[in-house]
């Protein structure tokens, strides 16, 4: 009988009698390993009430007391590194090595949140007129609703929620129902780090829980990472309920390769950035754009053997380069995208269908697949494929390559490989993507810089981490004050609009 994964509210496991549940699978085996409880609206109400009460006390605490908890959380993440990697791999399907890379970036985000007092400071001006001083302060917004995806079960929650907690908010978190165990482990570490009960809460579930969070009057802000259709829904519905919303959504990231580039380095970068984690990353390189047919032909000769050398395997196979996709439905969706590209005239140069992993006949495996001569009217160009299928377009010039990149509805990340500084500078100035890379495979910034795409890769003005994350999770108050001497005569009445007095 499958074990049950419940909610975490007020510092302890919370079970709801007769609640709905859904299956949780190990993608490497295709077998059900547990059942995830799906919260009702009453459970969400309970979690928000608990978070509201605990959050008021937490917000009154000193910066030092809050930072002590964040520092302790970092130490506990390191101490539980192997355990967390195992939990991630078992429910997500990514390799242990990849899971450890995710945890490294999570810890980086936690370390940045340790500096929350610096990035949440206000401003001050002395004697703006009439002995009046003006200053601003940032205060926590209250209860934050966080909705996170399956593909980064710890990293996205860590960088998203640690800053929210560090600046004085409380959290109600709805993780992906595909990877619920990581959420419980992360909540356990918060409690062990000394976070007061009720500041950090987990409600498992599906769309019903999402809607309850979006509509709840006790939640002040929403942070979301996931697909564009869902992110747009969350942004529109959340803002209609007077919440601030930051939704980080899909990507179809382009890599332009110029004729002067180090082609072997570009080929390795494309394979690394394109197929890691079975391509289930919003920052994965989806489309390769070598400029000029000669460049394309030469690059293809380098890319194909590198792709064919990749090994697909179980999450705990140390020799595997990447693992299974997250679900049977995901595998079917990716296979449909492959079939559609064939129908539309794409030239398949590497076929990853029908891959076999010894000992795991029921796992959700797909090998790396590559199409050449993709065009902008094909689905393979237009839609994000969350699986190991990549495409090559053949622009004749840099102008055409930039146009192809900018005409796409997504603007998450774009990279260029070139040895020419002027070309790189033009790329940085003209390409409309939120994150730009020059001779780097994935333009994912470090936690001290803002993360977020442009166009339909982001809804709202917030950023996932960096200084803007602290601003998103705080509200600004501006104070004007004067302290007259005790024996000063009362001010005369004046109806003129003169704030300086």
Using alpha carbons, list the distances in angstroms from residue 342 to 305, 325, 369, 389, 391: 21, 21, 12, 12, 12
- Is residue 153 within 8 Å of residue 163, measured between CB atoms? no
Place of tokens 């994350």: 469
Cα 288 versus chain centre, distance: 23
Looking at domain 253-438, which of 3.40.50.2020, 3.40.309.10, 3.90.1150.10, 3.10.450.50 is its CATH number? 3.40.309.10
CA dihedral of residues 369, 375, 379, 385 (deg, nearest 10): 40
C-alpha triplet 299, 304, 308: angle, nearest 5°: 155
18: left (phi over 0), alpha (psi -120 to 50) or beta: left
- Is residue 276 within 8 Å of residue 445, measured between CB atoms? no
Provide the annotated active-site residues. Answer: 282
What are the structural domain ranges in the chain? 3-15+32-249+457-479, 253-438
Digitized pLDDT (tens) for each residue of the chain, 501 residues in all: 578 999 999 999 999 887 899 999 999 999 999 999 999 999 999 999 999 999 999 999 999 999 999 999 999 999 999 999 999 999 999 999 999 999 999 999 999 999 888 888 888 899 888 888 998 999 999 999 999 999 999 999 999 999 999 999 999 999 999 999 999 999 999 999 999 999 999 999 999 999 999 999 999 999 999 999 999 999 999 999 999 999 988 888 999 999 999 999 999 999 999 999 999 988 889 999 999 999 999 999 999 999 999 999 999 999 999 999 999 999 999 999 999 999 999 999 999 999 999 999 999 999 999 999 999 999 999 998 989 999 999 999 999 999 999 999 888 889 999 999 999 999 999 999 888 999 998 877 777 777 777 788 788 888 888 888 889 999 999 999 988 887 766 677 777 766 555
- Please give the Cα distance from 330 to 336 (Å, whole number): 10
3-15+32-249+457-479 against 253-438: fold identical? no
In this prediction, residue 1 carries a pLDDT of 53
In this prediction, residue 117 carries a pLDDT of 86
- Please give the Cα distance from 238 to 253 (Å, whole number): 27
Phi, psi torsion values for 50, nearest 5 degrees: -60, -45
Place of tokens 């839609």: 383
- Please give the Cα distance from 69 to 55 (Å, whole number): 15
DSSP E strand boundaries for 154-279: 170-174, 200-202, 221-225, 244-248, 253-257
For the 3-15+32-249+457-479 domain, the top CATH level (class) is alpha beta
Place of tokens 């780090």: 193
- Please give the Cα distance from 474 to 120 (Å, whole number): 8
Cα 311 versus chain centre, distance: 26
């Amino acid at each position: 009988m499958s074990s049950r994964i419940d909610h975490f509210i007020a510092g302890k496991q919370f079970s709801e009698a007769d609640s709905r549940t859904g299956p949780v699978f190990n993608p490497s085996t295709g077998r059900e390993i547990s059942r995830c409880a799906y919260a009702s609206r009453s459970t969400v109400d309970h979690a928000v009430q608990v978070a509201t009460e605990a959050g008021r006390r937490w917000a009154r605490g000193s910066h030092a007391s809050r930072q002590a908890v964040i520092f302790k959380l970092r130490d506990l993440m390191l101490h539980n590194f192997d355990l967390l990697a195992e939990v991630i791999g078992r429910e997500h399907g990514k390799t242990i090595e990849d899971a450890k890379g995710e945890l490294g970036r999570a810890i980086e985000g936690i370390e940045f949140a340790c500096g929350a007092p610096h990035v949440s400071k206000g401003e001050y001006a002395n004697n703006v007129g009439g002995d009046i001083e003006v200053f601003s302060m940032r205060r926590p917004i209250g209860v934050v609703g966080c909705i996170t995806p399956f593909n980064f079960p710890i990293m996205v929650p860590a960088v998203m929620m640690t800053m929210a907690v560090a600046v004085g908010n409380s959290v109600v978190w709805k993780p992906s129902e595909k990877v619920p165990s990581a959420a419980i482990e992360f909540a356990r570490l918060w409690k062990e780090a000394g976070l007061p009960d009720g500041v950090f809460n987990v409600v498992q579930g599906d769309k019903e829980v999402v809607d309850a969070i979006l509509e709840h009057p006790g939640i002040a802000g929403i942070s979301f990472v996931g697909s564009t259709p869902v992110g747009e829904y969350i942004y529109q519905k959340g803002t209609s309920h007077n919440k601030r919303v930051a939704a980080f959504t899909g990507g179809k990231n382009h890599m332009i390769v110029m004729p002067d580039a180090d082609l072997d380095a570009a080929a390795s970068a494309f394979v690394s950035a394109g197929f890691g984690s079975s391509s289930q990353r919003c920052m994965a390189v989806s489309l390769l754009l070598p400029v000029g047919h000669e460049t394309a032909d030469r690059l293809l000769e380098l890319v194909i053997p590198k792709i064919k050398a990749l090994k697909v395997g179980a999450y705990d196979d140390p020799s595997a380069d990447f693992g299974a996709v997250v679900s049977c439905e995901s595998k079917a969706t990716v296979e449909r995208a492959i079939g559609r590209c064939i129908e539309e005239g794409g030239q398949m140069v590497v076929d990853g269908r029908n891959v076999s992993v010894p000992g795991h006949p029921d796992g959700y495996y797909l090998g790396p697949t590559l199409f050449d001569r993709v065009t902008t009217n094909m689905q393979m160009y237009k839609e994000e494929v969350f699986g190991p299928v990549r495409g090559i377009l053949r622009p004749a010039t840099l102008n055409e390559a930039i146009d192809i990149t900018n005409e796409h509805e997504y603007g998450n990340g774009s990279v260029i490989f070139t040895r020419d500084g002027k070309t790189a500078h033009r790329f940085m100035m003209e390409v409309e993507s939120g994150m730009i890379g020059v001779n780097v495979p994935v333009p994912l910034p470090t936690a001290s810089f803002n993360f977020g795409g442009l166009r339909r890769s982001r809804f709202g003005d917030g950023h996932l981490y960096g200084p803007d994350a602290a601003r998103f999770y705080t509200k600004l108050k501006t104070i004007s004050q004067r302290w007259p001497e005790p024996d000063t005569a009362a001010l005369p009445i004046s109806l003129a609009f003169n704030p300086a007095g």
